[in-house]
Structure 1
Amino acid sequence: MKPLEEVRWGIIGVGNVCEVKSGPALQQAQGSKLVAVMRRDGAKAKDFAERHGVPKWYDNAEALLTDPEVNAIYIATPPNSHEEYTLRSAALGKPVYVEKPMARTHTECMSMVNACRRAGVPLFVAYYRRALPNFLKIKQILDDGIIGDVRYVQIVLNKPLRPDIVGASKDPDNWRILPEVAGGGYFYDLASHQLDALDFFFGPIVHASGYVMNQSRAYPAEDITIGNFRFANGILGTGIWAFNTGESSNRELTTIVGSKGQVYFPYFGDHSVTLKVDGKKDEVFHFDISPHIQSNLVQRVVDELRGIGKCPSTGESAARTNWVMERFSERVDIHTIGKS
């Protein structure tokens, strides 16, 4: 594909993620414009366009996809339509930036990758932590060997099963707890960020296994996942993602342990990084992150499309994260345990 002089975006699905995290990022990036938005509810599409100063709005995806002024597509719909819109965009020769998780299944991911490859158009995925300064700091610490040889990684994410979340399961807009839409539950929504960042730090995970259960039965998707994994370089990892705990257990932390120390950090909310090295005083690094949190990655996407840089989050790298999540999903029904 020839470099674009200017990237003129059309968004399919202007929901909440586009309000602050990504929409303004497309408008503010150098060499980038947001020229059209689409939502099936035309009134909501029109409202978004007027509030954000977007020239065009549509209530039909085909109209946006075929708009000659639009030369790049951002797909911000739930995962069950990512494959369809990616294939349609690729067929029109338009590069794609798609929300995470990339799709519901690894098979859908590879369908997207192959379609874009055949069409000769780039495919990027919104794993924006690959371009945030706190995660670049962690990568620098690891690459510089400051904590020695990395031995293992541990992820802990506990979230309480709150009544508002349970009640939201009856809300058709809460697609995150509907496996037929999201691919899984809150695990797919949040753990995908964590596992993708580890791929960024260490390279591909080559072996993964685990269990998922729906212990509370508060909504259709799993509410707890446990996984073990191994990277190609021999680093081991384990993770537990529980979305059914009490308030007192609410915790989210990832720890990377090496032969000379460790680094630990949260993924969500707090942007700090803590470094502990044997024989030295602990260091805590704090970072100011823009509310338009996708800005850094969007600029990398725009730069690559203009032929002046490379984006670190591609369809190929994102598909690996879906592969890992699927390896964790040996499903166990708690209500049949111990029964013959």
Structure 2
Amino acid sequence: MDEISWGIIGVGDVTEVKSGPGFQQAEGSRLVAVMRRDGAKAEDYARRHGVPRWYDDAEALLVDPEVDAVYVATPPDSHRHYAVRAAAVGKPVYVEKPMARTAEECRTMIRACDAAGVPLFVAYYRRAMPRFRTVATLLADGAIGDVRAVTVRTTSAPEMWDPGHLPWRVRPEIAGGGLFVDLGSHTLDLLDHLLGPLSHVRGTAVNLGGHYPAEDTVTMTFQAGAGDSAVEGVGLWCFAAQERTDEVSLVGSRGTLRFSTFGDEPLRLTTATGERTIEAPKPATVQLPLIQTVVDALRGVGPCPSTGVSALRTAEVVDTVLAGYRDRMSLGS
């Protein structure tokens, strides 16, 4: 296929800059249709972004004969539904992260796409960002020697949302959890990509701030990779703190590499000779590098590093860590 024609289901904020323009900027790709339940907003998006058609009904977009592949950018509670429907009409799917609310929903999506013979990709776009390709290159080149351990620390102050109008990201019935699911999953998936699948996962989730129903603090231990090269890991995600931190630290036999998951400040490499910084900015359209790999995979000219199978592993880690909290919430409801 020379060119992939895309349709987007759910043109909310994430599609304005982070992802939507990427389908127009990628080589061999074009955006031909968008859908939002509010037709006026769908029409406005199409006008502003130069998209030929808009819909207020997802089914109409799915059966549009000019749409080759579908990007699902709705909140997680509808990812399974739209992925299964896209597969049923024979169209490849690129779905926002987290892939779904639970690992079982992810498995349903994978089974549907496998049965239909269509590929399933997930928007864990850090796997393809130049910033993290630089990290991967440093590791492959032995910049810190053998990786021994990894620490993750993500903290921030709580947002003071109106309890009657909470965003979907902290409503478990929509998101599958709170900001650990929405934000923490990015780091978990990145570690899977850089170091290998996570195993021996143990974790505790609690709500310390009481600002919303979802967990706001998570601690976790794990291993990344396997065998003699397995890396010991520990993580803290606290969204009820005063200090804002965002740091992943890869500790090696000959040095340490530190970087943020969400920022674009330089990477910091510390070895016996001292510390040096390495510029690693974000692209203007952060999803473009991954979108290009999706388009390449659909055109048969290259692989995509973020699939339903890889994203399922992250969902399984999240399920393991949140199992106790979800059980307590269920018993208390």
CA RMSD of aligned residues (A): 1.4
Gaps in structure 1 of 5+ consecutive residues? 336-340
The residue that corresponds to 2:238 in the other structure is 242
2:283 to 290, 298, 307: 290
- Match runs of 1:48-59 below 5 Å: 48-59=45-56
The residue that corresponds to 1:170 in the other structure is 164
One-letter code aligned to 2:91: K
One-letter code aligned to 1:226: T
One-letter code aligned to 1:242: C
8 Å CA contact retained: 2:209, 2:240: yes
Distance (whole Å) between structure 1 residues aligned to residue 137 and residue 281 of structure 2? 18
Matched, 1:257 2:234: no
- Match runs of 1:6-25 below 5 Å: 6-25=3-22
Distance (whole Å) between structure 1 residues aligned to residue 271 and residue 311 of structure 2? 32
2:154 to 132, 153, 157: 157
Per-residue deviation, residues 185-243 of structure 1 (Å, max 9, x unmatched): 01101011101010111111122111001111111111111111112422111111000
The residue that corresponds to 1:79 in the other structure is 76
**Structure 1 SS opposite 2:247:** strand
8 Å CA contact retained: 1:209, 1:329: no
- Match runs of 1:129-168 below 5 Å: 129-163=126-160, 166-167=161-162
Gaps in structure 2 of 5+ consecutive residues? 329-333
- Match runs of 1:166-245 below 5 Å: 166-167=161-162, 169-171=163-165, 174-233=167-226, 234-245=230-241
- The runs of 4+ residues in structure 1 deviating greater than 3 Å are 330-333
Per-residue deviation, residues 68-114 of structure 1 (Å, max 9, x unmatched): 00010000000000001000001111000000000000001111111
Distance (whole Å) between structure 1 residues aligned to residue 126 and residue 224 of structure 2? 19
The residue that corresponds to 2:331 in the other structure is none
The residue that corresponds to 1:338 in the other structure is none
Post-superposition shift, 1:332? Answer: 5.5
Post-superposition shift, 1:271? Answer: 4.1
Per-residue deviation, residues 260-311 of structure 1 (Å, max 9, x unmatched): 1110001112242111122x13121113322211011101110110010111
Post-superposition shift, 1:133? Answer: 1.1
Aligned length: 324
Distance (whole Å) between structure 2 residues aligned to residue 332 and residue 125 of structure 1? 26
Post-superposition shift, 1:161? Answer: 1.5
Distance (whole Å) between structure 2 residues aligned to residue 312 and residue 283 of structure 1? 29
Q: TM-score, normalised by structure 2?
A: 0.94
Post-superposition shift, 1:330? Answer: 4.4
**Structure 1 SS opposite 2:199:** strand
8 Å CA contact retained: 1:304, 1:311: yes
**Structure 1 SS opposite 2:126:** helix
Distance (whole Å) between structure 1 residues aligned to residue 86 and residue 159 of structure 2? 39
2:106 to 104, 109, 112: 109
More moved, 183-192 vs 269-278: 269-278
Post-superposition shift, 1:11? Answer: 0.2
